[in-house]
């Protein structure tokens, strides 16, 4: 471990390691929950990326997940509990840092983050990769925005950014159908940089993760070998060209205009209840 000006954070449900010089590896570690991220997880991950940006020894971050999922999205059980209590969903959302889901989906940040997608990547998992800098995926990864199937919406920044990456029609297909997107499609659409073939490893989850992370470390090392100043400025230039004016404004407008009504509606609560009760939701007519 290199010397740091400040000690790294100690997250509750993630592991930190340093697989190459100047490279931080963050491994989500809730495999039984498919690495769904709860409120504390968002706070912890935000702190990690903030630390990486401020720490001179760090130049590139990598995010991956333990088990068979990269990240299957939000902790819907926690979310369902919040809608069933006197604490409103608005209060729950307000506790999330402004960097968005996993500290990444709306992160502005200074240093690049690579997502090493080792398996299931749904909902918030996909929202994180949309705003990451590079994505390396295993051939058994699966992507998707299934929020509409649960009566909720991908409100962590992906909707307004996804269209810039994959185009209007493909973004609409992902957001409105909620269907799974295979890695070959994601690569063809430009959502993924590279699909690393892990078919020979079968269902050996540890081996799959290790292989895709190893490839991500190779790419990170290439970045870390370059001028840190040139990397930061080059990344900022690309961000300005990609995001420009509009993505954040659109996300804020969506949240300010629609989120309160969405959270107060019965369909959101029904979708979460149905998930917890392991049954098909019974939707009501929209009153938004």
Structure tokens, 28: 């989500």
**CA-based nearest residue to 117, from 65, 67, 155, 76:** 65
Give pLDDT tens digits for 112-160: 999 999 999 999 999 999 999 999 999 999 999 999 998 889 999 999 9
Residue 74 DSSP label: B
Alpha carbon distance 169, 37 (integer Å): 29
Region 188-215: mean pLDDT is: 95
Question: Between 145 and 246, where is the model more confident?
Answer: 145
Alpha carbon distance 113, 49 (integer Å): 9
Question: Domain boundaries in the chain?
Answer: 14-199+227-277
* Residue 59 contacts residue 231 (beta carbons within 8 Å): yes
- Reported confidence tier of residue 239, pLDDT bands at 50, 70, 90: confident
Question: Between 246 and 245, where is the model more confident?
Answer: 246
Q: Which phi and psi (to 5°) does residue 37 adopt? A: -105, 125
Q: Is the pLDDT of residue 88 over 50?
A: no
Q: Is the pLDDT of residue 90 over 60?
A: no
Q: Is the pLDDT of residue 57 over 50?
A: yes
Q: May I ask the CATH class of domain 14-199+227-277?
A: alpha beta
Sheet holding 142-144, edge to edge: 69-71, 120-122, 142-144
Q: What's the mean pLDDT when you consider all of the chain?
A: 89
């Amino acid at each position: 471990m290199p010397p740091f000006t400040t000690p790294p954070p100690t997250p509750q449900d993630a592991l930190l390691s340093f697989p190459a010089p100047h490279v931080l590896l963050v491994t989500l570690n809730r495999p039984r929950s498919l690495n769904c991220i709860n409120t504390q997880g968002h706070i912890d991950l935000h702190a990690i990326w903030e630390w990486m940006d401020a720490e001179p020894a760090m130049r590139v971050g990598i995010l991956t997940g333990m088990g068979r999922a990269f990240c299957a999205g939000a902790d819907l059980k926690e979310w369902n509990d919040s809608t069933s209590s006197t604490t409103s969903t608005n209060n729950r959302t307000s506790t999330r840092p402004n960097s968005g889901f996993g500290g990444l989906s709306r992160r502005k940040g200074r240093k690049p983050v690579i997502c090493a997608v080792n398996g299931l990547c749904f909902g918030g998992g996909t929202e994180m990769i949309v705003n990451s800098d590079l994505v390396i995926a295993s051939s058994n990864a699966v992507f998707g925005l299934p929020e509409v199937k649960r009566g909720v919406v991908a409100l962590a920044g992906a909707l307004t950014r996804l269209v810039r990456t994959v185009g209007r029609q493909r973004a609409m297909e992902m957001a409105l159908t909620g269907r799974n997107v295979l890695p070959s499609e994601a690569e063809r659409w430009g959502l993924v940089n590279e699909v690393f073939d892990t078919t020979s490893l079968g269902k050996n989850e540890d081996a799959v993760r290790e292989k895709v992370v190893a490839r991500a470390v190779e790419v990170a090392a290439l970045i870390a070998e370059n001028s840190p100043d040139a990397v930061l400025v080059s990344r900022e230039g690309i961000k300005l060209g990609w995001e420009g004016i509009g993505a954040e404004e659109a996300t804020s407008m969506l949240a300010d205009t629609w989120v309160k009504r969405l959270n107060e509606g019965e369909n959101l609560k029904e979708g979460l209840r149905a998930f917890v009760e392991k049954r098909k939701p019974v939707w009501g007519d929209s009153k938004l």
